[in-house]
Structure 1
Amino acid sequence: MPPDYTLVEETYLRGPGRWALPADGATRAPLAVFTVPAGYQGRDHYIWTHDEADLAEHPGQVLYRSPTRVIPDPCDSSEPSTPLGPSVQDLADALSDQQWTTTSTPVPATLGGHRGLYLELTSDPGVDFATCRSGDGMVLWESGSRDSQRVLEFAATDRYWILDVEGRRVVVTAMTPSSATGASVRRVTDVATSVTFVTP
């Protein structure tokens, strides 16, 4: 029987649908499958939307990855970093120690049947993204290589569910700009929290 989801690859997708993302940075991790409504798009390991009420100001994005390096100064990704430990708590601690961002206190969470921690990371007020030496904005972390980076290009909040899924640390993220309305935030987090994990 064919799967009931479509793998997000190079082919451009437009919602609605059930879309699967692989975990960049974690080989052999299960796929994350999201229930995606109309108004969303997908391609190349990304799922994103733009709030129909304000296309320019309220984009949203959902990712599924496994960070392997957290950048201490996200405005200078060339700076050396402390090796990242393997646990859920190790990643939460590294994000909390990062410059130019503020994280909420991690709290226990369960998502898609797997336990972990939930936290919110917000870019600090006054960050000039255009002058960051990292290039396109703040490079928060990498998953596997410099070719797979988490970059913020504007003031935003990244919501993290850091999970242990079958012995592999992964994160589901839901990003919205700091200016996003409550309704916009709910629409994006609803997609993130719809996740189920499947082994292809």
Structure 2
Amino acid sequence: MTLAVLLGACSAESPDSGSATTGSPKTTAPTEADEPSDGLFNPFDPDEPTLPGGVKVLSQDVEGFAPVDAGRYAVRVSESLLYQFDLPAYSDVHSGVYLNPGRRAGGDSIVWLTQANKRTSLPVHPCRNHDRKVVGPTVGDLASALHRQPYLTTTKPVAVTVGGADGLFVKASVPDDANVSACQDGSVDVIMQDPQGVEEPGTVDRIWILDVDGVRHVLRARTFGATKRDAKLVTQLVKSITFTQD
């Protein structure tokens, strides 16, 4: 699968941006009995307290893919911020950070959230020149710079709200007819903090650039090819997101 190689409420005008003004999550948190029965790994961080509602924090010390059952989980993003989300059945988490909804049922997508500080950069050219250029410090600066990138097919920034955090959404796609093998390092570079450059045409990055309590963060969902099922799983995950400060 492409994903294995890789890792080794939005506006009404744009439903693909993952409408994300959310209410109470519909999925309950997993109990002890719900933990993966085949788990060679314990995917939960033993040093993190269980959050209200029984939500467990995923361990970032686990290497590789860890299976998790359907439920509500959390990832720590910084010393003071976690985000919570619902995962469907047959999902995996890679390194406690990269969410793979429905991977064991044929899904091929990855979702992750990172802080995007004032030194956040984009490649000079996503295909030909992966040297970095720093964009401005605001949500709008990064969204506009993404929209102006050559080579990629990008949408205009659209105002969104995810888990109560306002921001802008941009979708960036590698053209279906792109000769990615001719790019620098045989891959397309979309934005900073990528687990690996894009290696296949038709790959789509859905990018939510959010202001979370005054700090810019980037939520990314990558799907490989135009698969409606993966896009639906990603949208459902994003709609379920809430942020927790501690």
TM-score between both structures, scaled by the size of structure 1: 0.81
Looking at structure 2, the residues matched to 29 and 103 of structure 1 have their Cα atoms a distance apart, in angstroms, of 33
1:52-101 CA distance string (max 9 Å, x none): 3xx3xx511111113411113122454342x2211111110111122221
* Shift of residue 196, structure 1, vs aligned partner: 0.8
Q: Does 1:91 align with 2:142?
A: yes
Aligned partner of 1:141 in structure 2 is: 191
The count of aligned residue pairs is 186
SS of the residue aligned with 1:21?
Answer: strand
Q: Which of 87, 99, 102 is the matching residue for 1:47?
A: 99
Contact 1:31 1:197 in 2 (8 A): yes
Q: Does 1:73 align with 2:121?
A: no
Larger fraction in helix: 2
Q: Does 1:36 align with 2:87?
A: yes
SS of the residue aligned with 1:105?
Answer: coil
Rg larger for: 2
* Shift of residue 104, structure 1, vs aligned partner: 0.9
Give the % identical residues.
27
Looking at structure 1, the residues matched to 92 and 145 of structure 2 have their Cα atoms a distance apart, in angstroms, of 31
SS of the residue aligned with 2:189?
Answer: strand
Q: Which of 68, 72, 91 is the matching residue for 1:14?
A: 68
1:165-190 CA distance string (max 9 Å, x none): 01111121222223312x33111211
Contact 1:31 1:198 in 2 (8 A): yes
Looking at structure 2, the residues matched to 28 and 166 of structure 1 have their Cα atoms a distance apart, in angstroms, of 14
Residue ranges of structure 1 left out of the alignment (5+ in a row)? none
Farther-moved stretch of structure 1 (151-160 vs 71-80): 71-80
Contact 1:51 1:184 in 2 (8 A): no
Q: Does 1:158 align with 2:209?
A: no
Q: Does 1:185 align with 2:231?
A: yes
Looking at structure 2, the residues matched to 185 and 95 of structure 1 have their Cα atoms a distance apart, in angstroms, of 21
Q: Does 1:168 align with 2:215?
A: yes
* Shift of residue 20, structure 1, vs aligned partner: 2.4
RMSD of the alignment, in Å?
A: 2.3
Contact 2:69 2:89 in 1 (8 A): yes
Residue ranges of structure 2 left out of the alignment (5+ in a row)? 1-48
SS of the residue aligned with 2:222?
Answer: strand
TM-score between both structures, scaled by the size of structure 2: 0.67
Contact 2:113 2:220 in 1 (8 A): yes
